[in-house]
Amino acid sequence: MSQFIVETATPKGYQLKLQTGLFINNEFVAGSDTIDTVNPANGKVIASVQAADKKEVDAAVDAASKAFHGPWGKMTPSKRAELMLKLADLIDRDNEVLSQIESLDNGKGITFSRLFDVKQIAITLRYFAGYADKIHGKVIDIEGALCYTRHEPIGVCGAIIPWNFPLMMLGWKLGPALCTGNTVVVKTSEMTPLSALKVAELIVEAGFPPGVINIITGYGAIAGDALARHMKVSKIAFTGSTAVGRHIMKAASESNLKKVTLELGGKSPNIIFDDADLDLAVRWAHKGIFFNHGQCCCAGSRVYVQASIYDKFLEKFKEYTKQTKLGHPHDDDTFQGPQISKTQFDRIMTYIEKGKEEGATCYMGGNRWGNEGYYIEPTIFTDVKQDMTIVREEIFGPVVTVSKFEDVDDVVHMALDTDYGLAAAVFTKDTARAIDVSNRLQAGTVWVNCYNELDYNTPFGGFRQSGIGRENGEYALDNYLQVKTVKINVSRQP
Ligand code: NAP
Ligand code: MG
């Protein structure tokens, strides 16, 4: 197991033993290639990890298939739950090391890794473990026969996850897949492979049979594509961009018509009425866009403020944003760290330039921060029009547009003027208005007087081109089960 261990330390001197092999059949093995993963705070390579091509994807799927038809399939649901609970406990035990790795590889503030990301994977596994022995079908009355349904696992499930919440996304995929009796092959993002590989060590320690969970790193176009096209993968759960989401559906349709769920991008509106608690609205709007450095699929990147409070809101929003700390991921008080990569950094800076070119006012920020790593100042644009690129396209960075509106119809019209539909928010003290506007918005989640509150037990997913299916909560289970109808003849004649 130690062959692929890389010893290193964080810039603050926290010693780490990183796992860099592909995790297949409870072993760490070589890939056909390697990928360098980078610390976004300084652009330096942390480690080189093994990368899978089709051959290793085949091996992982074979292992998952054997486990499904073997020990995992035969295990009682309560025993499966026990293993999931054990894994959650080990993740909590190792919160510090997992947090150090997550912040090193992804760039998020260490306090967020500790209190959010690592806690979320553990809590999600526990929540879904509770369902393992509560999955059952129905008895349906039909004439002359007994009919019952069985809710059966699908088989080998593929999961392709992004880099913005590597551990939380792993939890969102593993939880519902495992409690329903499936086995899994996860492909992590090439940008953030390290935390999931640490979890892989804990999977072995928890006592999962080989092949139940396989975690591979690899390039999207090679390993991701091979998984999406695999004839023995019965379901694929994808989180990432809308463009790659389309590709996943195509790969599924060109191969074995595997079931597909997609969590894609967004351009979510955040609507602030003039009767809202202004100070609270400012703080939530800040969290809405700047949490995780704007790298949130549900980010409130289009803020709409009622005309009578617009100027006051902007002033307070700027003041509040100035106070939050942009800094090193391993400092306890860092709110905003670097963007994930040079590519994303360049992409975001191009959007900022485009905003200026198209006539918007850069009211705050707009520049690189520091002289190493991929930091971008929190950026606020005003004087924006609905047809500007920065209002239409997902930027996936710390960039927000703040527009003015007059009345409810005006703002609902602007909020709906997008191809996406992942999330939205309304700030008002008027309950009737909150309900009316929430009903009229086209979004998988509508927050009222809060933003970016993600809970493992509530469904999350997109309307329109933000995705297909729901993750989390009881709703997630359906994606991982298939219904079998059994009819036992009692008195029917041929
Ligand atoms: P992405 O390219 O869609 O990547 C997401 C995952 O899909 C990664 O594991 C990626 O692998 C894999 N992938 C890429 N091409 C693939 C292919 N042809 N077949 C199968 N899998 C493939 O997203 P990204 O590059 O990380 O970010 C680009 C944009 O995606 C962002 O700017 C944002 O718009 C959106 N995004 C959304 C979310 C969300 O939570 N909804 C999360 C992240 C990104 P590699 O890592 O090897 O490319
Ligand atoms: Mg990295």
Query: Tens digits of per-residue pLDDT, 213-228?
Result: 999 999 999 999 999 9
Question: What is the sign of the dihedral through the CA atoms of 174, 176, 179 and 181?
Answer: negative
Annotated active-site residue 201? The verdict is: no
> Which residue in 24, 18, 54 sits closest to 36, CA to CA?
18
How far from 107 is each of 38, 49, 373, CA to CA, in Å? 10, 18, 10
Cα–ligand 2 centroid distance for 404 (angstroms) = 38
Question: Is the minimum distance from the CB of 94 to ligand 1 under 6 angstroms?
Answer: no
Q: Which pLDDT score is estimated for 422? A: 98
The angle formed by the CA atoms of residues 458, 171 and 94, to the nearest 5 degrees, is 125
Cα–ligand 1 centroid distance for 313 (angstroms) = 34
Domains along the chain with CATH numbers = 5-264+468-482 (3.40.605.10), 269-456 (3.40.309.10)
- Candidate from 54, 185, 241, 351 with most ligand 1 atoms within 8 A of CB, to mutate: 241
Query: CA 238, CA 162: separation in Å to the nearest integer?
Result: 9
Q: Which pLDDT score is estimated for 183? A: 99
* Paired tokens of 155: 């088989």
Atom of ligand 1 nearest to the CA of 245: 3
Q: Which pLDDT score is estimated for 137? A: 97
Question: Is the minimum distance from the CB of 433 to ligand 1 under 6 angstroms?
Answer: no
Query: CA 61, CA 66: separation in Å to the nearest integer?
Result: 9
Q: How many residues does the chain have?
A: 494
The angle formed by the CA atoms of residues 281, 283 and 286, to the nearest 5 degrees, is 105
Cα–ligand 2 centroid distance for 104 (angstroms) = 7
Active-site residue, from 297, 362, 377, 394:
297
Active-site residue, from 56, 102, 190, 263:
263
Q: What is the CA radius of gyration of the chain?
A: 23
Query: CA 16, CA 21: separation in Å to the nearest integer?
Result: 15
Q: Which pLDDT score is estimated for 2? A: 66
| Backbone phi, psi, residue 34, to 5° | -135, 160
Atom of ligand 1 nearest to the CA of 344: 32
Ranges of the chain whose pLDDT falls below 70: 1-2
Q: Which pLDDT score is estimated for 188? A: 98
* Paired tokens of 460: 């999350």
Question: What are the b/e assignments for 246-266, b being 16+ CB within 10 Å?
Answer: ebbeebbeeeeebbbbbbbbb
- Candidate from 244, 254, 263, 340 with most ligand 1 atoms within 8 A of CB, to mutate: 244
State the Cα torsion 340-346-348-354 to the nearest 10°.
Answer: 180
Question: Is the minimum distance from the CB of 191 to ligand 1 under 6 angstroms?
Answer: yes
Q: Which pLDDT score is estimated for 93? A: 98
CA atoms within 13 A on the CB side of 128: 34
Cα 469 to chain centroid distance, Å, stands at: 14
Q: What secondary structure does DSSP assign to 252-289, as a single string?
A: HHHTT--EEEEE-----EEEE-TTS-HHHHHHHHHHHH
Question: Is the minimum distance from the CB of 190 to ligand 1 under 6 angstroms?
Answer: yes
* Paired tokens of 459: 């469904």
Nearest CA to ligand 1 atom 12: 220
Question: Is the minimum distance from the CB of 350 to ligand 1 under 6 angstroms?
Answer: no
Annotated active-site residue 263? The verdict is: yes
* Paired tokens of 462: 């997109």
Please state whether beta strands 259-263 and 33-39 pair in parallel, antiparallel, or not at all (unpaired). unpaired
